[in-house]
Amino acid sequence: MNSQHSQSDQSLADTYSDPGIHDLWEAIYRDNVRQDRLNDRLLDRVLQVLAPAKGSLFLDAGCGVGDHTVRLVRLGYRCVGVDISPGILERAKARAAQQNIDPPRYVAAPIEQLPFLDGEFDYVHCKGVLMHIPNWQRALEELCRVVRPGGGMILMEENHRSLAHRVVMLARRIRRSRSELRRTESGDEFWSTFGGNSFVVRTSNVASLVDALKVHCFETRAVIATAFVDIGRVPVALRNLVISINSLCVTLKVPWSWSSAVAIVATKR
């Protein structure tokens, strides 16, 4: 690995080893009963596309505190959670221990360098993770590598074609933003710092993700709208209302291009 990649990996490790960033994400996206119910519905919907057999082996990539890892195990699948932060995996283990389930296995590693064999997993679940990785192409290559032929991939990312993203871009023209915008073929990247370390959020060009999957022998089966508005972009007092709107959009199966976040569901040839 060259020194540039080593520095990038270390920067990511420093960013995501900071407990504060996980506390922030948990405050927004975890431990909300309504959001938990919506997450259950979303996972059920994407799994309907793949129809995995019970007992199939999943990799939950960028698992964080392990909410989705536990969700998959509850549904009758085996699951390994991988995350770059050893500290956050200790939280994931503690959470799993409180559940009436067989505890998942957790592995500390960057997604760009997965310590797994080719085709070791039946399926990969990766929600809101590639958007925080500068070298997302390398990360996706690794995720594709560890899926067996005939297996599947679930990628959940933000969508640069959405109405919500257009509003964000308009707001940046009106008022000064603390993040640096970098426009790329793979999407719009917002660079800032957290705890003194680099931090990126990418609103993805969904077509570029679909094309990249195709290069790695994956055929996209569905692109599904998962959230009309990101609850992290609205005040706390409005989050339950936004979750209700997002739930309605899932129920109505609105076009994915309208949605601020999407699920790309693909199978490997």
Judge whether residue 195 has pLDDT over 80.
yes
Written as six digits, the tokens of 23 are: 């506390």
pTM of the model: 0.93
pLDDT 10s digits, 74-123: 999 999 999 999 999 999 999 999 999 999 999 999 999 999 999 999 99
Judge whether residue 12 has pLDDT over 90.
no
Judge whether residue 222 has pLDDT over 70.
yes
Written as six digits, the tokens of 216 are: 């790695």
Q: What angle is formed at CA 39 by the lines to CA 169 and CA 88, rounded to 5 degrees?
A: 85
Residue among 102, 26, 34 nearest 69 (CA): 102
* Alpha carbon separation from 117 to 133, 143, 200, 243 (Å, rounded): 22, 11, 29, 38
Judge whether residue 219 has pLDDT over 90.
yes
What is the pLDDT, as a whole number, of residue 6? 42
Judge whether residue 143 has pLDDT over 50.
yes
Q: What is the mean pLDDT of the chain?
A: 92
